[in-house]
Amino acid sequence: MGVVASVHITDLGVLRTLPRLRSVPRPGSIGGLRHAEVAVAAPLRARRGPPIPTFSRVALIALWDSDDAVSEFLGEHRLAAKFASGWHARLEPLRAFGAWPGLPDDLSRDRTTDYDGPAVVLTLGRVRISRVPRFLRTSRRAETSANASPGMLWGTALARPPFVATCSVWESTRALAAYAYGQRDPGHPEAITADRSKPFHRRSAFVRFRPYAMNGSLAGKNPLPESVVAQVTTGARDREHARHAT
């Protein structure tokens, strides 16, 4: 499978979350780790106003050399134990717009892919501090549009400034494309145009993934419908069987 990503989100309480934000694992500090970010979560906005962080909820986003590296991390590393009670996803990158440390150099930049199952999108950025107000105004419109989009199953904003991100889960890549490029609600296309005219970030990437594992819970339940979790699990099992058959 090559390079993969993982997302780990858990509710630790404020006093246990803040220490997690003090340090970010560096490449090489964990076997197979290419890049990592740690951030506090915030709900995607559906109305006017600034984002409201949930300081009790923390996330780890990581890029790895292989799925085996993720398994070793989850099974052996003390940092993984801090996230064990939360929700986790393992992700195969399909395409990217922009650049981010740890992403493979040969990752497709094409808008379309030959995959149309459940999808996860990570938007990743290092925001320019002078452009934070403009970024927040523009991103609110995109977040509001995402919340109202058919096929958007769950999402969260993430931040540890200057790092800012969103993680969203979609029922299909078609639903995702309709949000990202369609004109039904121009919130996201307008955000792209605004960023291109005067970039918000020093570095940024929009990355689409095929999820091949999703498990765990937030606030006592998996935030995704059982049917989607089952579809992801079945798809991963079928691909594994096909790989062994060849």
> Cα(47)–Cα(30) distance, rounded to whole angstroms?
40
Per residue of the chain (246 residues), give pLDDT as tens: 799 999 999 998 887 888 888 889 999 899 999 999 999 999 988 777 778 888 999 999 999 999 999 999 999 899 999 999 999 999 999 999 999 999 999 999 887 788 889 999 999 999 999 888 888 888 888 888 888 888 999 999 999 999 999 999 999 988 988 887 766 666 565 666 666 777 888 899 999 999 999 999 998 888 888 888 888 887 666 666 555 555
DSSP string, the chain: --SEEEEEEEE--HHHHHHHTT--PPTTSSTTEEEEEEEEEEPPP-SSS----EEEEEEEEEEES-HHHHHHHHHH-HHHHHTTTSEEEEEEEEEEEE--TTS-TT-B--S--S--S-EEEEEEEEE-GGGHHHHHHHHHHHHHHHHHSTTEEEEEEEEETTEEEEEEEES-HHHHHHHHH-SSSTHHHHHHHHHHHS-SEEEEEEEEEEEEEEEE-BTTB-SS-HHHHHHHHHHHHHHHHHHHH-
Structural domains in the chain?
A: 4-245 (3.30.70.100)
For the entire predicted model, the pTM comes to 0.88
